[in-house]
């Protein structure tokens, strides 16, 4: 049962007389507890809607197009609270946040609804068998799962949750139910790489609905006091991960007709190996996990640049990025200069003093580090920042520095470039 916060004007629900404050009980006698229940059962063209107005139980019937929204609004998107993570993983990035950040940055979600609706990864440890059955019944697919290892005992140790090994059986249930599975393996050097990774890949190969597997190195910040000691990957160990994936890939090709198992860009950068061509990534199913992000971005930039003819150079700029993408962004700036006469720009590599030097991705840079290092280095008067540095609303860095504060502190205009290569090129050509 959920409280109705608003009813859209001229919607089916409004025509039936439902009002703000009514409590939705069921659709076609199926109890409604959250957004998945609501979206699944509201999809029928014939509906019996039960609700409470005060203490009075009421029921109305409706015939409508299945694709026509009922017009009910609820207090939260999920119609429920987000489910919190019950694990204490040895590599958890949130546990490595420094103190004093905004509260939302310390929240750990582990919610199967967000997995389906927004692509979040879940560990399965807070799901009961009935919830797994609901996923299969409602055909909630794909589901994104943080597996990390298929060794039950090792998974318990890594996630510090006694149920972490037992729930691996849910993978078989989901696969048997036809649910597509995208898997994430966060790798910790000497913990779940090597032989443990080989076992995980062999076990995952047996899942008939496996869609993709991303191998991602654990991010290790400077704020790990009292946490499990972990060692970052170096060139040799990163090469070992890449070699193992290449060794296992033929079996996945044979079963699925696709490579299926991918390494994050960070492994190629750490190993000192060139990024693969786009064909390696097979449509980029794990792009949000940093798998193929640089290749996709480079190809988008090249395509946009090829379509650019006789463009004005725009105002001089300095692209701001982290160590990981520095060489990549430098190459794009040089390519743009070759194509566009008069284009003036450079790239500033910012060291992450906030999280520590081992964190090299641009998305985890903070305003105070950018300000301090650009004051010392200098810039061209217009800064181009990737949108990944800012929260979804586009206004705050992780340390709560705002864009106006950054602009004022450095005496520079700021252009925020969207995530695609074409958007970066447009930012370079902007006249601000």
| Tens of pLDDT, residues 417-430 | 999 999 999 999 99
Taking each helix axis from N to C end, the angle separating 169-176 and 129-137, rounded to the nearest 10 degrees, works out to 20
pLDDT at residue number 392: 74
Confidence band, pLDDT 50/70/90 cuts, at residue 189: very high
Degrees, nearest 5: CA angle 155-159-161:
95
Say how far apart CA 239 and CA 247 lie, in whole Å. 12
For the cut 80, the answer to whether the pLDDT of residue 77 exceeds it is no
Look at strands 317-321 and 382-386 and give their pairing. Answer: parallel
Do 184 and 147 contact (CB within 8 A), yes or no? yes
Q: Which residue, chain included where needed, has tokens 């966060």?
A: 186
- Of 167, 151, 141, 143, the closest CA to residue 87 belongs to 167
- Return the number of other C-beta atoms located less than 10 Å from residue 254's C-beta: 9
pLDDT at residue number 411: 96
pLDDT at residue number 431: 84
The predicted-structure confidence for 213-234, as pLDDT tens digits, reads as follows: 999 999 999 999 999 999 999 9
Say how far apart CA 318 and CA 393 lie, in whole Å. 23
Run of H or E residues at 204:
helix 194-205
Q: pTM for the full model?
A: 0.86
Run of H or E residues at 414:
strand 413-417
Q: Which residue, chain included where needed, has tokens 């170096």?
A: 234
Question: Residue 281 has which token pair?
Answer: 């990534």
What domains are there in the chain, each with its CATH number?
Answer: 2-74 (2.30.42.10), 94-291 (3.80.30), 298-428 (3.40.50)
Long-range contacts of range 235-238, CB-CB < 8 Å, 24 or more positions apart? 235/270, 235/271, 235/272, 237/189, 237/193, 238/266, 238/267, 238/268, 238/270, 238/271
Say how far apart CA 412 and CA 404 lie, in whole Å. 10
The predicted-structure confidence for 94-142, as pLDDT tens digits, reads as follows: 899 988 888 878 777 765 555 555 568 889 998 899 989 989 988 889 9
């Amino acid at each position: 049962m959920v409280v109705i916060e608003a009813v859209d004007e001229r919607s089916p629900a409004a025509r039936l007389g439902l009002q703000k404050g009514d409590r939705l009980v069921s659709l076609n006698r199926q109890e409604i507890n959250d957004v998945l229940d609501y979206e699944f059962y509201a999809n029928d063209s014939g509906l019996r809607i039960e609700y409470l107005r005060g203490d009075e139980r009421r029921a109305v019937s409706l015939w409508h197009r299945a694709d026509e929204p009922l017009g009910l609004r609820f207090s939260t998107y999920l119609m429920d609270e987000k489910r919190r993570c019950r694990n204490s993983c040895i590599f958890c990035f949130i546990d490595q946040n420094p103190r004093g950040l905004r509260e939302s940055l310390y929240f750990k979600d582990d919610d199967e609804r967000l997995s389906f609706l927004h692509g979040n990864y879940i560990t399965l440890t807070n799901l009961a068998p009935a919830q797994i059955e609901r996923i299969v019944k409602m055909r909630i697919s794909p589901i994104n799962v943080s597996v990390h290892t298929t060794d039950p005992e090792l998974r318990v140790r890594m996630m510090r949750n006694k149920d972490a090994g037992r729930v691996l059986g849910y993978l078989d249930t989901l696969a048997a139910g036809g649910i597509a599975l995208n898997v994430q393996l966060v790798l910790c050097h000497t913990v779940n790489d090597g032989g443990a990774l080989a076992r995980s890949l062999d076990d995952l190969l047996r899942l008939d609905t496996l869609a993709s597997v991303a191998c991602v190195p654990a991010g290790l910040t400077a704020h790990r006091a009292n946490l499990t000691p972990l060692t970052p990957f170096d060139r040799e160990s990163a090469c070992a991960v890449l070699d193992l994936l290449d060794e296992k890939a033929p079996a996945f090709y044979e079963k699925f007709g696709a490579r299926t198992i991918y390494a994050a860009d960070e492994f190629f950068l750490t190993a000192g190996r060139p990024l693969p061509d786009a064909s390696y990534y097979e449509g980029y199913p794990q792009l949000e996990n940093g798998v193929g992000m640089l290749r996709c971005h480079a190809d988008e930039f090249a395509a946009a640049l090829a379509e650019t003819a006789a463009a004005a150079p725009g105002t001089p700029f300095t692209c701001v990025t982290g160590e990981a993408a520095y060489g990549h962004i430098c190459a794009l700036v040089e390519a743009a200069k070759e194509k566009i006469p008069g284009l003036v720009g450079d790239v500033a590599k910012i060291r992450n003093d906030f999280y520590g030097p081992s964190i090299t991705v641009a998305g985890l840079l903070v305003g105070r580090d950018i300000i301090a290092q650009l004051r010392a280095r200098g810039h061209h008067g217009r800064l181009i920042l990737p949108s990944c540095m800012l929260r979804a609303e586009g206004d705050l860095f992780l340390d709560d520095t705002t864009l106006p504060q950054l602009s004022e502190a450095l005496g520079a205009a700021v252009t925020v470039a969207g995530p695609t290569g074409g958007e970066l090129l447009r930012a370079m050509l902007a006249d601000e």
